[in-house]
Every structure is written in C-alpha cells, then in structure tokens.
Amino acid sequence: MTQKTVTAGVILIGDELLSGRTRDTNLSTIARWLEPLGVQVGEARIVADDDDVISETVRAFSDRFDYVFTTGGIGPTHDDITADCIAAAFGLGISERGDAIEMLRERYDLSELNAARRRMARIPDGASLIKNPVSQAPGFQTKNVFTLAGVPSIMRGMLPDIEHRIKGGAKVYSRTVTAKGIGEGDAAAPLVEIEKAYEGVSIGSYPFFNAELRGVNFVARGRDEVVLEEVEGRLRALVAGLME
C-alpha cells in the first residue's frame, strides 16, 4: 500500500529576519529533523511582526499542511505577539497557565517572575505545552501548529518533545553523485531524460566552484531505494562519460 505524503509548512516570524539583521537557520534544522520522520516541508515563509499577517498565514498553513511550525515571537517583550496571533487564528482565548508558570519556576524565583516574564506563560486555550530544556519558557501545540522559540539553540531543544506527536508518511531518500571538472550545463539534457524514465524521482544539480576546482553534485530523490540505486548507477555512467 502506498504511504501518504505527509507535509509541513514553516513560518519564520520576525522583523529582524526580514531586515537581514538576523540570519535564519531554523528552517534548515526543522527540515532536516523532519526528513527521517517521513515529513516533507512544502513551503516556508518569513513574515513580519504583524498581528493580521501572522494569524492569516497560520490559518492558511494549518489548512494546507499536515503540520505547521512557527518560530519566533514568544519571548517576554511587547513585540512578542505570536501566542496572541495563534489564538486569534483559531478563534481561541488566551490566558496565563499554571503549568507554564511551573515550567518557568525551574529558572526563575517567584520574585523574578515579573509581568514581562509572565507573558511567556500566556498560552492559547486548549494548547498542549512543549518542553524547553534550554530556557524553560515553553512552546505549545495548537491543533496541528507547533509554536517554537526563534533562538536556534532553544528551538532545537524543543524538538525532542514534538517527535512523538508526529505521524510521518512516505520517507524520501536521496543519492548523491559528484562530478569534478564539469559544469551543470554539460549534463542538463541527459538529466532530463533520466528523470523522465523514473516516475517519482526528482534530480537536482548543485554546482560548486572555487579558484582551483569546479564541479557538480547530482542529487536524486525518491521514495523507493531500489529505484534510486538504479538511478544512481545511470548518474555515475553519465558522469563517467562526461569526464572522458
């Protein structure tokens, strides 16, 4: 029986990402983490700290994808608005949660839990918490949306508490063949023919070059490892012919 393709959307939230002041690494981390679980990222979008834009994007992604991941905007400052936007996206209330406060108590004394820090315990109604072993402020899951921190080290620390909630589908495997001394244009036409011959297989070419060396990595992706082995053989034969 053919396994279902399970998809995810990733929403990266923050003006600092759009301005270029902060370089995103969370998308790569999430996509690589999901791949062996049988979940493919179908789209990623960077959005500003804008209430309406965040809510509309979350709602649209929730409808389109099996899972949605948001990063950023759940800290203690006034512009950390993601929790409110998630609640608005699904028409939910939002309030301070006792279990979230208890998680924060692992890091802060009660006297240190001022109004700003208590903002991190405001959770949409009905959401389940996501543990944060790095800074203790929890993320949360609302329906099929996982809301995570924007700081990469904290975001990575939250992923283990999500894995058991993911029901993956067909896994995508890959094979890479490296050709040195050629350009990707040299192989363009033969690659099209190979890809046409194998339904369900996609082939990408990724050039590399520096002052001393140029070449291409040919990457074949598909769900059938036996078929991929055959494709890999044809790619190796192609490369050998081009390098003669």
- Segment 91-122, tens digit of pLDDT: 999 999 999 999 999 888 888 899 989 999 99
* DSSP 8-state assignment for residue 33: H
Q: How large is the average pLDDT for residues 50-63?
A: 98
pLDDT at 155 over 90: yes
**Other Cβ atoms closer than 10 A to 97:** 18
- Segment 14-50, tens digit of pLDDT: 999 999 999 999 999 999 999 888 899 999 999 999 9
At residue 6 the predicted structure's pLDDT band, cuts being 50, 70 and 90, is: very high
pLDDT at 64 over 80: yes
| DSSP assignment string, 39-80 | EEEEEEEEE-S-HHHHHHHHHHHHHHSSEEEEES--SSSTT-
At residue 209 the predicted structure's pLDDT band, cuts being 50, 70 and 90, is: confident
Q: How large is the average pLDDT for residues 176-197?
A: 86
Decide which of 167 and 171 is more confident.
167
Query: Above pLDDT 70, what percent of the chain?
Result: 98
Are the CB atoms for 130 and 162 separated by under 8 Å? yes
pLDDT at 72 over 70: yes
Closest CA to 195 of 231, 240, 223: 231
At residue 2 the predicted structure's pLDDT band, cuts being 50, 70 and 90, is: low
Q: How large is the average pLDDT for residues 208-233?
A: 86
Work out the mean pLDDT of the chain and round it to a whole number: 92
pLDDT computed for residue 213 by the predictor: 73
pLDDT computed for residue 242 by the predictor: 82
Domains of the chain: residue spans and CATH: 6-165 (3.40.980.10), 173-242 (3.30.70.2860)
| DSSP assignment string, 89-140 | HTT--EEE-HHHHHHHHTTS-GGG--HHHHGGGEEETTPEEE--TTT---EE
At residue 3 the predicted structure's pLDDT band, cuts being 50, 70 and 90, is: low
- Segment 168-178, tens digit of pLDDT: 887 888 899 99
pLDDT computed for residue 198 by the predictor: 94
Q: How large is the average pLDDT for residues 164-169?
A: 91
Are the CB atoms for 218 and 204 separated by under 8 Å? yes
Decide which of 37 and 184 is more confident.
37
At residue 76 the predicted structure's pLDDT band, cuts being 50, 70 and 90, is: very high
Are the CB atoms for 91 and 54 separated by under 8 Å? no
